[in-house]
Amino acid sequence: MKLERFFSYIFAGLGVVLLIVSFGVCLLSRNAPVRMTEVPAGAEQCAEAFCDAVNNGELVNMSRMIYGQPDLGMENLPEAPEATLVWQAFADSISCEFDGGYYPMDAGIAREVKITTMDVVALMENLAQHAQTVLEEKVAAAGTLADIYDENNNYREDLVELVMQEALQRVLAQDVKTVTWNVTLNLINRDDSWWIVPDQSLLQAISGVA
């Protein structure tokens, strides 16, 4: 397995996170913020449940509050150990904080929030660097070429997996960078239920990818 195939493992581990960004939605226009004196109970409950799910790392539950309940890939996570490490780190890093009160908009109401997540782009860059270092260490410590290469003269698959796991552990043991997003929660009422209609900024925030 050649060195460039390391990147396929990186993307496999992060695929569920990156998938969220590709989910297409229409941006909603809104009026200038005007604080509401009375907020529908259902809307408030929806917004609070959304933030609670984010703060608890329950991203599957969070996705179910999005209008239409789209499949964002969160219920079909890769089983590879590297993917599990990345996903858990991301779920542990994400948080949601309200920033101001509710205000009306054309299709419903809205509220500003700050969402903080692990910086996925920075993690991928750091991971690639560590993977190269770990691979070089394994090659230098190998007793024979058979410990490094398979019969097709590619890197052994078990070696690749070991290198990726160790590189991820090194990256996640450091202070992982985070990024904070200023996001508008757009809430609408459909069929007597309140939902969050995401715009691109919210999708980027819950994926950690600009």
Say what the pLDDT of residue 207 is: 76
Say what the pLDDT of residue 174 is: 84
Residue 138 CA to residue 166 CA, distance in Å, equals 11
Q: Which of residues 30 and 201 earns the better pLDDT score?
A: 201
DSSP state of 38: S
Structure confidence by residue, pLDDT tens digits, 22-67: 333 322 233 334 455 588 999 999 999 999 999 998 888 888 899 8
Residue 210: pLDDT band (50, 70, 90) is: low
Q: Which of residues 80 and 202 earns the better pLDDT score?
A: 202
pLDDT for 71 beyond 80: no
Beta strands 108-118; 178-190: pairing state: antiparallel
**Whole-number mean pLDDT of the chain?**
80
Residue 135 CA to residue 163 CA, distance in Å, equals 6
Q: Tell whether pTM > 0.75.
A: no
DSSP E strand boundaries for 93-177: 95-105, 108-118
Residue 88 CA to residue 84 CA, distance in Å, equals 6
pLDDT for 7 beyond 50: no
Among the ranges given (22-31, 155-164, 178-187), the one the predictor scored with the smallest mean pLDDT? 22-31
Q: Which of residues 196 and 105 earns the better pLDDT score?
A: 196
Say what the pLDDT of residue 72 is: 60
Residue 115: pLDDT band (50, 70, 90) is: very high
Give me the count of residues in the chain: 210
Among 129, 128, 115, 130, which residue's Cα sits nearest to residue 210?
115
Report yes or no: 176 and 93 within 8 Å, Cβ to Cβ: yes
